[in-house]
Structures are given as C-alpha cells and as structure tokens.
Amino acid sequence: MCRSIKTLRPPVLPGEATDDDIHAAALQYVRKVSGFRAPAAHNREVFERAVAAVAEATAELLDGLEVRGRTPNV
C-alpha cells in the first residue's frame, strides 16, 4: 500500500473526509498502481477516469462504514 495514502475514516481523521482528501488518496493509488506520477498525453484520459472511479468507490465506502460510537451516514 502506498504510504502517502492516509486513513480517511473517523476517528483517525478528526472530521469527515473532504472531496479533496478523497481525490488525493485516489490519485496516489492510481499513481502507485500505474507506476506513473503523471501520465503521458495519450494516457491522460484513462488515468483521470481511473482516479474518478477510485474516488467514487472510496466515497461510497466511507459513507457506508459503521464506526463504533457513530451513526452511519445513510
């Protein structure tokens, strides 16, 4: 796992993860998996789609998690 991806769920993160937090984590994940810090022009679209898909899945995961002592975000 990429060490620069931080845990985004409470109580590790003091508040709710922001869209920027989620996007940054998704970007780091896609960079790690692809092996590219920045994609070449011919790969930019697929790279950006992957970041968006990972960010969406991350937001869905965080919204569905139940953390002890907190009510779920349903």
H/E element holding 58?
helix 44-64
Report pTM. Answer: 0.81
Rounded Cα distance between 56 and 26, Å, is 9
Is 90 exceeded by the pLDDT of residue 69?
no
Nearest CA among 24, 52, 47, 22 for reference residue 35: 47
What tens digit of pLDDT does each residue of 6-45 get?
A: 888 877 777 889 999 999 999 999 999 999 999 999 999 9
Name the residue ranges covered by the structural domains of the chain: 19-64
Q: What was the pLDDT predicted at 39?
A: 93
From CA 74, how far away is CA 33, in angstroms rounded? 31
Which are the contacts of 30, defined by CB distance < 8 A and separation ≥ 6?
47, 50, 51, 54
pLDDT at 74 over 70: no
